[in-house]
Amino acid sequence: MRKANKRITDFGVIRQMLDTCHVGRLGTLGADGWPRIKPLNFAWHEGRIYFHCALEGEKLDDIRHEDRVCFEVDLPIAYVRGTTETPCRAEYLYRSVIMRGRARLVEEPAEKVLALDALMRKYQPGGTWGSYPEEKLAITVIVRIDVEEVVGKEELGKGELRERALAMLASGAPLPAVLG
């Protein structure tokens, strides 16, 4: 990372983002040589990213072609408005995480259930769900990304602006905010 002062060094912050951000973006390389980005739901579990998909499709074609992938999540925190007198005051406050790793198709039934349970805990917190019907498991592909590198980056502003951004994050305020 070019600007070391923007690096997120507290893995707890990164973990919280992975546990709470609802959409991640999978970066793959197609057989035609073109990179592709696909938004998807995901779960972070024991140092791995899990997601599910259909038996066929572009994601799986790309992964079969090249298992090296990247994965990204971001949290928009606030847009800071510029003024007619100080237009350069405008800035965007955020946190982001980018990972690189290798995508693997999960074949083991127990790991498939583990991944689906992790997804359900994330997207249906406090909810209950039953067992997964065998016929649904048979037509659901689970992909696991074995993460090899994680880099977190943030821009929270300086001084009072940074304090406001941190307070919004701590309070659970709706994000992104617009700050004047």
DSSP 172: T
pLDDT of residue 1: 58
pLDDT in tens, 76-100: 999 999 988 888 889 999 999 999 9
Give which of 68, 39, 71 is closest to 53, Cα–Cα.
39
Q: What is the pLDDT of residue 3?
A: 76
pLDDT of residue 68: 98
CA distance 151 to 28: 18
Question: How is 91-156 classified by DSSP, letter by letter?
Answer: EEEEEEEEEEEEEEEE--HHHHHHHHHHHHHHHSTT----PPPHHHHHT-EEEEEEEEEEEEEEE-
Please state the pTM of the whole predicted model. 0.91
Please give the pLDDT value at position 2: 73
Per-residue pLDDT of the chain (180 residues; tens, 9 = 90+): 577 789 999 999 999 999 999 999 999 999 999 999 999 999 999 999 999 999 999 999 999 999 999 999 999 999 999 988 888 889 999 999 999 999 999 999 999 999 999 999 999 988 888 899 999 998 999 999 999 999 999 999 999 999 999 999 999 999 999 998
The span from the CA of 21 to the CA of 159, in Å, is: 26
Is the torsion defined by CA of 102, 104, 108, 111 positive or negative?
positive
Do 95 and 153 form a contact (C-beta atoms < 8 A)?
yes
CA distance 158 to 168: 15
